[in-house]
Amino acid sequence: MPASLCGTWEMLSNINLEGYMIALGIGLSTRKIALRLKQRKVIEQVRDKYVIKTLSTFRNYVFSFRMDEEFDEFTKGLDERHCKSVVTWEGNRMVCIQKGEKKNRGWAHWIEDDKLHLELYCEGQTCKQVFKRVA
């Protein structure tokens, strides 16, 4: 059983969010705002249901899912696309594949050195984020 990702996490580093946002087609003015944000991640689990909240002073992005069950994801407030998404465990990594208009899109979360790691990828661009636990 992988280490629990549940809790509240505060961003420490955010590498190549710019490249990832360009791959998603986000306009310059929104990118400039987004790059300055210190995101928080809140991950909760109730029985077999997960909720992941990405919070910031500008926008929030919240969605929920069950492991191994495909769901309809709408990336509201982000690039506003519809995806068929599925989240699975691959060893200690929580991995999501987001099928839709954008090719090779998804993300992976894992714990390393008590930090929460996240890779977000889309069409050859990878954004790498690290969070420290705050609760």
What are the φ and ψ backbone dihedral angles of 69, each rounded to 5 degrees? -115, 120
Region from 2-10, 26-34, 64-72 binding ligand 1AG, contact rule CB under 6 A: 26-34
Candidate list 5, 11, 23, 52; residue touching ligand 1AG; CB under 6 A: 52
Write out the binding residues for ligand 1AG, residues 86-105 only, by CB under 6 A: none
Query: From the CB of 58, what's the least distance to ligand 1AG, in Å?
Result: 6
What track of x and - describes contact with ligand 1AG for positions 5 through 24 (by CB under 6 A)? ----------------x--x
Residues in touch with ligand 1AG (CB under 6 A): 21, 24, 26, 30, 34, 37, 39, 41, 52, 54, 56, 58-61, 78-79, 107, 118, 120
